[in-house]
Amino acid sequence: MKRTIEYTLLIIGAVFSLIGIVFAFVIKFVSKTPEFKSEFKTSFNEEIQGTQDIPSSLSADQVLNSFAGFTNYALVILVISILLTIVAIIFVKKQRILSGVLAIVAGLVSILIMNFISFLLLIVAGIMLLVRKNKTNKTNNQFEDVNFQNDLNNNQNNFESNDNNRNNFESNEKQVNNLDETDKKKKDDDPYIY
């Protein structure tokens, strides 16, 4: 069965995860540059002095460190999601159930970083893989039925031929026994046969 829709959904979900990986790498690289750090610190300090919403105990370095930690977390999650999606794509034709489960797990993993597009695509593809059964070819079923009927007929013919062979053997045995009895009777009647 062609599973073009499932392949398409899985590939698009993998592409969105790949875009997320590229985006996370770019953010990680930009956040480590000295220009970005100095600009972020000045704007962060201005925001703290201007509003009371941000606690004063929070420093710009702590925010940058937590931001770097989040990008590392996002990268790990996206890599796991894309690997599960690739394995699901590989097993679509051979083991649709395994592929569907892997697609659903990849979707659930991608939602951990709010990757909603990949989540929806992978969940839909996984459900389709689990629900849509493989279509069997009617010609294959016809051949299987004919082969089954031929095997059944051959077995029945073999059984009948075995019965016939057994009956022939029994009738031959009776004939031999009858000949033996006839020969014995002749011996008994004829005094010159030893």
Q: What is the pLDDT along the chain (194 residues), one digit of tens a residue?
A: 577 888 888 899 889 989 989 998 888 888 888 888 888 888 877 776 666 555 556 677 777 888 888 888 989 999 999 999 899 888 888 888 888 899 899 889 988 888 888 889 989 988 988 888 777 655 555 555 555 566 666 666 666 666 666 666 666 666 666 656 666 666 666 666 55
**DSSP letter, residue 37:** H
Three-state DSSP at 136 gives: coil
pLDDT value of position 138: 53
13 token code pair? 């979900």
Domain ranges of the chain: 4-131, 136-194
DSSP H helices, the chain, are: 4-31, 34-50, 60-90, 96-110, 116-131, 138-189
Tokens (6 digits) for 66: 């937590």
Distance CA 74, CA 38 (A): 24
Report the alpha-carbon distance of residue 20 to residue 85 in Å, rounded. Answer: 14
* Phi, psi for 137 (deg, rounded to 5): -75, 130
At residue 80, the pLDDT reads 92
- Structure confidence at residue 93 (pLDDT): 83
For residue 67, which amino acid is it?
A: F
CA distance 144 to 167: 34
Return the pLDDT at 115. 84
Q: Which residues contact 79 (CB under 8 A, 6 or more apart)?
A: 21
Q: Which residue has the tokens 């069965």?
A: 1
Distance, in Å, from the CA atom of 43 to the CA atom of 128, rounded to the nearest integer, reads: 48
